[in-house]
A and B are shown apart, each in its own frame.
Chain A
């Protein structure tokens, strides 16, 4: 059944990003889309203008890393939601509803469910304890040099893999939507990203994300509004008609093959839930608001936008079944039920064209480009701060460094990361990179999250335990992904995977927790008992914000 857009494996490949990287590789270069290019140029001009004004105001490290803590809860909520609603979410998940029906809706819920948990258990403590990077929290009462090095290394690993996956996906998507050459697309993304981050720092990065989130919410809503108007805004009518024409028939709204196996289901749920809570570019957003109250409110806004948008995506997929799925113009050789022109992930784009013509198609394509740009900028920002703030300022210089010098190092790090991203993006053009996103989420969930949550909640965590837990989680996540289908079979060419699940979280996370526990408990050094004593004061700061870094005067 070739028409199935996703193989079982890529369905379980945990993030729509993986789907994007996977599916766009089949897309072919289209004729230049001028509507899209002109609208995208507007976006670039606007965001570069913001970057310029941000650059003139960025003076301290706080300005650079966290926009001086001056982002409001509403703005930050939009930015967090923006980080979460990627191009791949829009394209991959609407296509999934189109092809699989109800499974797509379940998948959307899995993506959403982690947010309330982050709010209840993490948001306030993150803001009260952190300053610029999440390593500030893990290293709070532990050995600065060793723990920061560990946290920065796993952050950088996550950032690099995620960045490569995004760059390759971006190149292919832009080639498809805009009719630009792959290399040109990679250079455009890389250079704009460097400009935003190096000059505008967190202020520019956040505003790029906010503008894009608004464009995405507006574009998605408009498409669904126009599509639903065809059916008199009757959900029941759409559902009934969709069941009548879809190959799945009445089974369209039944759970399908996606979560048939409970272990896969739990592993996926864990990976998506805690992966998000360990991604450095998301964690960093908690430090851009003035206090714990604003952090709390920003998660509420963010989860509201995400919940709304995910339901919009569900409706896009459903109406797409009727509007795109029944129109021969959108299929190769005009064969309804065959392959969609441009590949399976083009559903949202075709739907936009069907209900709003070339103008709406151009707008949505520009949104998709803006989305990629915003996400890679956030990643570069997180990577640059791990290099300059954690490794250079704290590990190499032991905190003896001027703010100007630290910002300069961040800028150099951004240029370096951007160049690496461009080179690797071009090098990996034809490679199968689906595993990289799995790896990024796996490492985030297994290396970053356990040590972070233990450092906030468990008095007994010592440097030794944190290092074992962190490195153990990192290593086991890498090994499990290496042995899973996406690398062992798809890249290395072996017949069967040694590790049957694509998402390593269910297994790598307990390993990290266990190692951190055992090696903390068995640590009887003087240093360890001092670290345990220091928890009392850390706990008061976490609970009350006493001593927390407040917003810089703006």
Chain B
């Protein structure tokens, strides 16, 4: 059973696609988050600037709020694609493996 799954090119396709997608998203999150932490550590004044001359809202607030929303949207994007594409591929791989067994 495991052998047949492994031999199925669709399994390789599933693994490769999911790996690329998941790691791309993870790296975006890590880069943005630790990039932000570096700005906080090395250039805090930049975050204190208002987003518009007469606004009380600073870049710092805007950036953090953006990250809360954007990270969640990335998560939603992952779940959306995984539920549709990856799960369908997984089902196909498993079904084909069962059929060969019969």
Task: Return the chain A residue nearest B58 by Cβ.
Answer: A253
- Interface stretch among A110-118, A413-421, A468-476? A110-118
Size of interface on B: residues with Cβ below 8 Å to A: 51
Known: A106-B40, A255-B40, A297-B79. A544 touches B93 (CB 8 A): yes
Closest to A260 in B: B41
Contact code string B14-47 (vs A, CB < 8 Å = 1, else 0):
1100100011011001100110111011101101
B84 to chain A, nearest CB (A): 11
Residue B85 is within 8 A (CB to CB) of chain A in the complex: no
Interface code B69-89, partner A: CB below 8 Å = 1, 0 otherwise? 101101110110011000100
Q: Which residues of A contact B48 (CB under 8 A)?
A: 250-251, 253-255
Binds B, one of A163-171, A191-199, A236-244, A447-455: A236-244
Which one, B30, B42, B64, B83, contacts A117 given CB within 8 A? B30
* Contact residue among B5, B15, B60, B72 (Cβ-Cβ distance under 8 Å from A102): B60
Contact B2 A296 (CB under 8 A): no
B56 touches A243 (CB 8 A): yes
Q: Which residues of A contact B83 (CB under 8 A)?
A: 293, 296-297
B56 to A236, Cβ gap below 8 A? yes
A311 close to B79 (CB less than 8 A): no
Determine the distance from Cα of A540 to Cα of B48 in the docked complex, in whole angstroms: 49
Q: Is the CB of A299 within 8 A of B2?
A: no
Taken residue by residue from 89 to 131, chain A's Cβ proximity to chain B (1 for < 8 Å, 0 otherwise) reads as: 0000000000000100110110011011101110010000000
- Tell me whether A178 is interfacial, beta carbon within 8 Å: no
Question: Given that A120-B23, A254-B60, A310-B68 are contacting pairs, would A536 and B90 also be in contact in the complex, using a CB cutoff of 8 Å?
Answer: no
Q: Determine if B33 and A269 form an interchain contact, defined as CB atoms under 8 angstroms apart.
A: yes
Grouping DSSP codes into helix (H, G, I), strand (E, B) and loop, the B interface class, with mixed when no group exceeds half, is helix
What residues on B are CB-neighbors of A307 within 8 Å?
A: 68-69, 71-72
The docked-state distance in angstroms from the alpha carbon of A253 to that of B57 is 8
Interface positions of A from 281 to 309, Cβ below 8 Å from B: 293, 296-297, 299-300, 303-304, 307
The total of Cβ contacts below 8 Å across the A-B interface reads 142
Give Cα A311–Cα B71 distance, bound, in whole angstroms: 14
By a CB distance below 8 angstroms, the chain A residues around B58 are 102, 253-254
Contact B57 A239 (CB under 8 A): yes
The reply to whether A120 and B94 contact each other, CB–CB distance below 8 Å, is no
Are A544 and B5 closer than 8 Å at their CB atoms?
yes
Residues of B with C-beta under 8 A to A239: 56-57, 61
B41 pairs with A265, CB closer than 8 A = yes
Pick the contact of A120: B14, B26, B34 (CB < 8 A): B26
A307, B15: Cα distance in complex, Å: 30
In the assembled complex, how far is the CB of residue B38 from the closest CB belonging to chain A, in whole angstroms?
Answer: 7
Query: Does B55 interact with chain A (Cβ within 8 Å)?
Result: yes
Whether A7 is near chain B, meaning CB under 8 Å from some CB there, is no
A271 within 8 A of B: no
Contacts of A232 in B (CB 8 A): none
Contact partner of B90 (CB less than 8 A), chosen from A265, A297, A545, is A545
- Which residue of the partner chain, among B11, B15, B33, B57, contacts A236 with CB atoms under 8 Å? B57
Q: Are A311 and B72 in contact (CB under 8 A)?
A: no
Report the bound CA distance from A124 to B75 in whole Å: 13
A-contacting residues of B (Cβ < 8 Å)?
1-2, 5-6, 11, 14-15, 18, 22-23, 25-26, 29-30, 33-34, 36-38, 40-42, 44-45, 47-48, 55-58, 60-61, 64-65, 67-69, 71-72, 74-76, 78-79, 82-83, 87, 90, 93-94, 97
The 4 closest A-B pairs by CB, nearest first: A254-B48, A262-B41, A255-B44, A120-B22
7 more A-B residue pairs beyond the given contacts A262-B38, A265-B37, A544-B11, with a C-beta to C-beta distance below 8 A:
A102-B47, A109-B36, A236-B55, A255-B40, A255-B44, A307-B68, A536-B2
